[in-house]
Structure 1
Amino acid sequence: MLDTQRLPTTFYTALQDDLRGELTRLGLDAILADDPSDVAYLTGFFHHPGERPVAVLLPVNGSTRLLLPELEREHAEAQHTMAELVAYPEFPGLHPPFTYLDRVAGRIGYAGSMSVDRLAEVTTAFPGATLVRTDLLTRTRLRKRPEEIALHTEAARITDLMLAAGRTLIEDALAAGGDLPSEAELAGHITGVGTHTMYAEHADVVVVSPLAGGLVYAGPNSARPHALPSGYRLRPGDVFMLSLGCAVGGRFVEGERTFILGEPTAEQRRYYEAVRQAQQIGGEALRPGVPCAQANKECLDVIRTAGLAEFLRHRQGHGIGLGMHEPPWLSDGDDTPLAVGMIVSNEPGIYVPGHGGYRISDSMLITEDGARPFTAYPRSLDDVVVAL
C-alpha cells in the first residue's frame, strides 16, 4: 500500500531549484504557468480548473508563489502545496487577480498554452516586464524523475487489474448462461474496479480526470478509434477493445488490449497478428537517441508491409505524464530524440470499417538500453481469445 500518492517536498524543492538554473541559462528572470498540469507539476496543487485564475510564478530569486482564489486556500494547504499562497477574494472582483502578485520586472517566460486573454491580463498586471514565450516546462516534463516513475508503475498495476476485470466479467456472464455485458456495463464495471482498488489500497488519493477507466467498444463500433461506450451488447464472434488507464498521484498510464470472443477466424488472426508484430517492432524501436518519427515509421511499416495500410488511422503513440496525451509525439513530423526517462505509449492499430478495430497499447519507459513496458497484461493471440 502506498503511504501517500503525493510526492515528497524534496521532489518539488529539487525541481524548482533545477528550473531556476535553467531560467538563468535562458536569460529569464521568472516563469509564469497557468496550465493546471503545470501548476500541479511545479507545486503539487491539483485543482478543478474554472474561470478563476490559478497560476504559479517561479522567480530566479525569491520564493515560488501560487496565485489562487481565496476559496481554494484551504484546499491548497491540505495538499501541502510547495509555494507561498497568494489569494485574491473573488473573480472578477474589484481588482484583477494578477495584480495581487508582487510586480515582477525583467523577462518572464510563459507557456504557449496560455490563452490570449490571460496573456493580456498578465501584461497589464506586470507593466515593467517583458513576456517571453518558452517551452521550458514542456521540455522539463518530458523526462520523468524517479519519484514520478514509481507512481506510473503503480498506475500500470491497477490498469492491468482493470483489463483482467473486464475479461472476467465476460467470462462470468458466459458461465452463467445469461446476456453478455454491454459496452457501457463493461466500462462501468472496469471503472469501479480501478477506483475501488485505488481508494482501498492508497492514502491521499490525488483526484484527476479520469481517475480510472477508459473506452470500451465491440464489433463494428471498435472500428472507430475513439468511440465512446454504448448500449451495444457483446456477441459471439465479436472483436472487442478495452482501452483503459488510470492516474496515481496524477501520473497516467494506459494499457489497451483487443480481445476476440470465440475462436478467431482467419481474417481476425491476420489483423491481430499484424498489429501485435507492429507493436513488438515498435517497442524495439524505442531507444535513446532515436527520433520519434523514425520509431513511428519502423512501427507502422510492419502494418504497411502486411498490406493493411488502408486501415491505419493514427500514429504509433504519444507521451504520457500528468496528461494522458502530451509530448513527445511518436509520429511523422516530430523529430524529438527519445531520451532516458521519457514515457510514451506504443499503440499501433488498424480499423476495418464494418468489421472492427485492433489495437494493443503499453506505456513504455525509455531506459538506457531501450524501453520497457509498465503494463504487463499478455499480448499473444492465445492470451486474448475468450473461449465460448
Structure 2
Amino acid sequence: MRLPDSFYATVRTRLSAALAERDLDGFLATAPADVAFLVGFFYIATERPVYLWMPREGDPLLVIPRLDEEYAAQQEVTVDTVSYFEYPGVVSAEETLATALSGRRARRIGISAGLSVGAVDKLNRAVTGVSLVPTDAVANLRLTKFAEEIPLHEAAARICDDMLAAGRELIADALARGTELPREDELARHVIGYGTDRMYADYERVVYTTKVAGGLVYAGPNSALPHGLPTRRRIQPGDTLILSLGAAVASRFVESERTFVVGEPTTEQRRYYEADREAQQVGTEAMLAGRTCAEVNRTCLDVLRGHGLGEFIRHRQGHGIGLQNHEAPWVEDGDHTVLAPGMLLSSEPGVYVPGHAGYRISDTVLVTESGPRRLTSYPRDLEANVIEGVR
C-alpha cells in the first residue's frame, strides 16, 4: 500500500520549489490528508495533534503522539520523528515542535488555510519569532494526481462499482423470494460492509485518513434530500433509490453513485432519470483540459434547465477527489480553476423533486490529454438500473 520513495522525493522537490516562489522557509502540515500525501503517514485524527515540518531546504520532521510511534514504524515512515507523551501534556505537542525546530532557520512558515484559530494561537505562543502564513502550496500540488496515485484510484473504482452491484443484488434477491425489502439503514450497512470486507481481503495492510468505504442510501421521498442520511424506512416497490457510495485504496478516494428504480418505471420517473443521465453525459464530456470548472458546470446544469428542471437543481456538478472524498477544485460557477491533465473530479448532477424523489448519477472522472476518462464504469442507462426480482 505504500507508494515508492521516489514518489515522496518528487513531492518534496516540487514543494520546495513552490515554497521558494512564495518566499516561505517551510510548510507545517497539520491535516491528515496533507501528512499522508507528503510522507505517507496515515493516522487516526483525535485531539492529539500531529505536526509535519517540511522545510524548503533540509530534512522533514514529524511530531507525533508517543502512542503512534510503532504505527509510524509499521508504515515505514522514514523521516525524522520526535514524540510527545500525551494531550494536553505537561510538555505540549506545540512545545515539542518548538524545541525540535530551535536552531533551524525559519521566519516565514506556511500553514494550511484550514487550520483552526485555536491551533494557530497555540502555535504562535509556542513557536515564537516566526510568521505563520496561510498558503495553497500543498493544496495546489494535490490538484493533479501523480502517476503513482492513479492505479490506487482505479482499484478503488472497481470496489466501488462492485458495492453498487452488491446493493442492487440484495434488493433483487428479496424481490425474487417475495420477502420484504431491506430498510435504508440495512442496505447502507450491507454495501459499506461489502466494500470494507473487499478492502481487507485484497490488501494486507489497510490505511486511510477518514474511511475505507462509505455510503448514503435513500429511497422514495427521502431521495429528494441530497445529503439525507439513511433512515429506517423500508424500501418499497415503485421507489426511486439512490446509492451514493465511495471507497478508498490507500486513502485515494473514488465515488460511484447510481439511481435505481424498483419495478417498472413510471413516465414521471423516466422523464427525470433521462434528463439527469443526459446532463451527466454532457457534463462528463465537457471535462476537458483547458476549460474552467465554471464553464463545465454551466454546460452540465444547462441541460437540466433546458428540460425545464432548473427549480429542482440543488447543487453543483461536482468536485475534486483525491486523498479526501471532497477537495479542490470545485466544479461550480464560482470556481474558475482551469482543468488540467491529472485532475480527478466527480460528475454528479442531480434532480431533486420534493415529495417525489431524487435522481443522481455520479462517476469519478480523470482529466487526460486526450479527454475525460471515467474510472467508474457501472451502467448508467435506465433499463440497466431497473431492479426486478425475476430469476
Match of 1:317 in 2: 318
Contact 1:319 1:326 (C-alpha < 8 Å) held by counterparts: yes
Match of 1:59 in 2: 55
Contact 2:209 2:323 (C-alpha < 8 Å) held by counterparts: no
Contact 1:12 1:82 (C-alpha < 8 Å) held by counterparts: no
The offset of 1:93, in angstroms, is: 2.0
**Partner AA of 2:86 in structure 1:** E
Task: Give the TM-score taking structure 2 as reference length.
Answer: 0.96
The offset of 1:66, in angstroms, is: 0.7
CA distance in 1 between counterparts of 2:195 and 2:146 reads 25
CA distance in 1 between counterparts of 2:318 and 2:78 reads 33
Query: Structure 2: any 5+ residue segments left out of the alignment?
Result: none
Does residue 37 (structure 1) correspond to residue 33 (structure 2)? The answer is yes
Contact 1:242 1:256 (C-alpha < 8 Å) held by counterparts: yes
CA distance in 1 between counterparts of 2:388 and 2:206 reads 37
Relative to structure 2, which stretch is displaced further, 96-105 or 66-75?
A: 96-105
Match of 2:93 in 1: 97
**Partner AA of 1:50 in structure 2:** T
Q: Matched residue of 2:148: which SS? A: helix
- Which of the numbers 32, 43, 67 marks the counterpart of 1:47? 43
Which aligned runs of 4 or more in structure 1 are off by greater than 3 angstroms?
none
Match of 1:166 in 2: 167
Contact 1:312 1:351 (C-alpha < 8 Å) held by counterparts: yes
CA distance in 2 between counterparts of 1:178 and 1:131 reads 61
CA distance in 2 between counterparts of 1:330 and 1:207 reads 25
**Partner AA of 1:18 in structure 2:** R
- Which of the numbers 52, 61, 68 marks the counterpart of 2:64? 68
CA distance in 2 between counterparts of 1:77 and 1:98 reads 22
Q: Matched residue of 1:257: which SS? A: strand
- Which of the numbers 75, 82, 86 marks the counterpart of 1:86? 82
Q: Matched residue of 2:222: which SS? A: helix
CA distance in 2 between counterparts of 1:184 and 1:99 reads 45
Match of 1:133 in 2: 134
CA distance in 2 between counterparts of 1:97 and 1:236 reads 56
The offset of 1:351, in angstroms, is: 0.5
Contact 1:44 1:82 (C-alpha < 8 Å) held by counterparts: no
The offset of 1:240, in angstroms, is: 0.4
**Partner AA of 1:191 in structure 2:** I
Query: Structure 1: any 5+ residue segments left out of the alignment?
Result: none
Summarize the alignment of residues 148-227 of structure 1 with structure 2, pairs less than 5 Å apart: 148-227=149-228
Does residue 12 (structure 1) correspond to residue 8 (structure 2)? The answer is yes
**Partner AA of 1:318 in structure 2:** H
Change (3 A) 1:213 1:116: closer
Per-residue CA deviations over 1:184-221 (Å, capped at 9, x if unaligned) read: 11111111211111111112111443311300111011
**Partner AA of 1:369 in structure 2:** S
Summarize the alignment of residues 239-254 of structure 1 with structure 2, pairs less than 5 Å apart: 239-254=240-255
Q: Matched residue of 2:53: which SS? A: strand
Change (3 A) 1:19 1:207: closer
Percent identical residues: 53
CA distance in 1 between counterparts of 2:377 and 2:198 reads 18
Q: Matched residue of 1:287: which SS? A: coil
**Partner AA of 2:14 in structure 1:** D
Task: Give the TM-score taking structure 1 as reference length.
Answer: 0.96
Relative to structure 2, which stretch is displaced further, 84-93 or 118-127?
A: 118-127
The offset of 1:130, in angstroms, is: 2.1
CA distance in 1 between counterparts of 2:356 and 2:228 reads 14
The offset of 1:113, in angstroms, is: 0.9
Relative to structure 2, which stretch is displaced further, 12-21 or 216-225?
A: 12-21
Contact 2:246 2:253 (C-alpha < 8 Å) held by counterparts: yes
Contact 1:218 1:234 (C-alpha < 8 Å) held by counterparts: yes
CA distance in 1 between counterparts of 2:116 and 2:210 reads 21
Contact 1:24 1:60 (C-alpha < 8 Å) held by counterparts: yes
Per-residue CA deviations over 1:209-244 (Å, capped at 9, x if unaligned) read: 331130011101100011111111111111001100
Contact 1:162 1:191 (C-alpha < 8 Å) held by counterparts: yes
**Partner AA of 2:116 in structure 1:** S
CA distance in 2 between counterparts of 1:347 and 1:119 reads 36
